[in-house]
């Protein structure tokens, strides 16, 4: 039976990691893997997380199952940061559950809307490749619109047309901030318009907030999500702590549902629980428990936020440095300065991508997507010089 399976293409990112690791050059640069790096090129464990883990080791008295909903203390502790401290559950209209990372949350959200009757998911392109991959695996049709134009700004005309074409049973997947892979975010004015358009549309929004705090700040990065939620009757929110708490390998995420009628939440979440039971049964505990302990402790919360500020400021320095280079060879790096988060796309040709790898030991995705956090004071000048040479 197993011989009937068809060979699947290798994951492009995993192949890129191997290429980088096999390169013997001491000055090689990895701009592919989507993790934060310090100025020394390391991906650290947050000090606040280390302190919470120490407390967890000293106080945890059981490893018994949590249930498919996970650590509800973790789920509740996140809500004021996601939805606002004044009314975090929107008057009883929001409930959530823990998931294995943001990917688990997205899988659950898309499976839930499919179970509710959705057939089409409207997604801006380019998007995180796993968005389309999950939809394909679930048998959901992906309807694409252009996220950004050649001017490096969001393509609001394409978005307006996509929403106008929506019909009953459609869902729209929107990046809350720090767009992956372009770094091109909607402005507050854009979000105000998007919220108004969705308020008058049958489309159900699915909001993917995977990088809160890595763009402009925790509150600023939640503006779009909160604005949309204030305007629409129902929504699903996919959240990841993997980036803003540095818990990549611990897979820490949450799915929240907002319902027009709070009485529907029990029914909605029962579907989330049953889908989780059939997929992973229950989420891993350790990372979620560490986040909960951080958010329950005022001093640890302050430490975490300070560490997050430092991350964001370092990435802003990289963006400003690249933007200051302006037109470099045949590309203009200046738009990178007004983008947010870990990623940006530089319009390299496939041949130029290969030349950057072969001649300069600089590795990034074939799409031209770079992880700006891979650039440091020690290698950013080399990168800019290589871009100038290869694209001239």
- pLDDT tens column, 126-161: 999 999 999 999 999 999 999 998 788 899 999 999
pLDDT tops 90 at residue 258: yes
Range 300-323 average pLDDT: 97
| pLDDT at residue 99 in the model | 98
The active-site residue, picked from 111, 243, 321, 373, is 243
Confidence of residue 14 (pLDDT cuts 50, 70, 90): confident
φ and ψ at 256, to 5 degrees? -120, 145
Q: Are residues 188 and 76 in the same domain?
A: yes
Percentages helix, strand, coil for the chain (3-state, rounded to 5) are: 45, 15, 35
Indicate if 63 belongs to the active site: no
Task: Tell whether 98 and 173 lie within a shared domain.
Answer: yes
Q: What is the Rg, in whole angstroms, of the alpha carbon atoms belonging to the chain?
A: 21
- Residue 263 is assigned to a structural domain of this protein: yes
Does residue 200 sit in the same domain as residue 84? yes
> Considering the chain, what is the average pLDDT of its residues?
95
Are both 208 and 167 inside the same structural domain? yes
Catalytic option among 210, 254, 257, 259? 210
- Which residue in 109, 118, 128, 386 is the catalytic one? 128
**Beta bridge mates, 31:** none
**Strand positions, DSSP E, 27-158:** 29-30, 94-100, 120-125, 141-146
Least trusted range by pLDDT, from 30-34, 88-92, 148-152, 237-241: 148-152
pLDDT, tens digit, for every residue of 56-69?
Answer: 999 999 999 999 99
pTM of the model: 0.94
CATH number of 306's domain: 3.90.1150.10
- Domain containing residue 288: CATH number: 3.40.640.10
Q: Does 85 lie in the same domain as 17?
A: no
Determine whether 171 is an active site residue.
Answer: no
Query: Are 94 and 234 within one domain?
Result: yes
20 with 156, same domain: the answer is: no
Q: 60 lies in a domain?
A: no
pLDDT band at residue 12 using 50, 70 and 90 as cut-offs: confident
Query: Does any domain span residue 3?
Result: no
- 369 located within any domain: yes
Please indicate, yes or no, whether residues 207 and 350 belong to a single structural domain of this protein: no
Same domain, 136 and 280: yes
Q: Which domain holds residue 104?
A: 65-296
Question: 231 catalytic, yes or no?
Answer: no
222 and 237 both lie in a single domain: yes
What pLDDT was estimated at residue 151? Answer: 80
pLDDT at residue 307, as a whole number? 97
156: β partners = none
């Amino acid at each position: 039976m197993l011989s009937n399976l068809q060979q699947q293409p290798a994951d492009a990112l995993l192949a890129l990691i191997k290429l980088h690791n096999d390169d013997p050059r001491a000055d090689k640069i990895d701009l592919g893997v989507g993790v934060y790096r310090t100025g020394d090129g390391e991906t650290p464990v947050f000090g606040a997380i280390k302190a919470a883990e120490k407390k967890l080791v000293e106080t945890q008295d059981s490893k018994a199952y949590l249930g498919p909903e996970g650590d509800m203390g973790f789920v509740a502790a996140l809500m004021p940061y996601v939805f606002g401290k004044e009314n975090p559950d929107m008057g009883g209209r929001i409930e959530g559950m823990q998931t294995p990372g943001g990917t688990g949350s997205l899988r659950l959200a898309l499976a839930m809307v499919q179970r509710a009757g959705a057939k089409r998911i409207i997604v801006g392109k380019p998007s995180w490749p796993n968005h389309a991959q999950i939809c394909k695996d679930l048998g959901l049709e992906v309807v694409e619109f252009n996220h950004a134009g050649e001017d490096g700004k969001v393509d609001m005309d394409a978005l307006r047309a996509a929403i106008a074409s929506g019909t009953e049973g459609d869902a729209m997947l929107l990046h809350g901030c720090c767009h992956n892979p372009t770094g091109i975010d909607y402005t507050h004015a854009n979000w105000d318009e998007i919220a108004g358009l969705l308020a008058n549309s049958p489309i159900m929004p699915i909001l993917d907030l995977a990088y809160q705090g890595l763009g402009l700040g925790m509150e600023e990065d939640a503006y779009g999500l909160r604005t949309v939620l204030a305007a629409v009757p129902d929504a699903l929110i996919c959240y990841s702590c993997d980036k803003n708490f540095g818990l990549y390998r611990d897979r820490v995420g949450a799915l929240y549902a907002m319902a027009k009628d709070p009485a529907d939440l029990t029914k909605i979440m029962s579907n989330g629980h049953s889908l989780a039971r059939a997929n992973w049964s229950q989420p891993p505990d350790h990372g979620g428990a560490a986040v909960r302990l951080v958010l329950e402790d005022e001093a640890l919360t302050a430490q975490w936020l300070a560490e997050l500020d430092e991350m964001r400021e370092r990435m802003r320095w990289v963006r400003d440095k690249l933007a200051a280079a302006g037109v470099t060879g045949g590309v203009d790096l200046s738009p990178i300065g007004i983008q947010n988060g870990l990623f940006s796309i530089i319009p390299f040709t496939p041949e130029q991508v290969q030349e950057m790898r072969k001649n300069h030991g600089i590795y990034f995705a074939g799409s031209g997507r770079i992880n700006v956090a891979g650039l440091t004071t020690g290698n950013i000048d080399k990168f800019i010089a290589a871009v100038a040479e290869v694209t001239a």
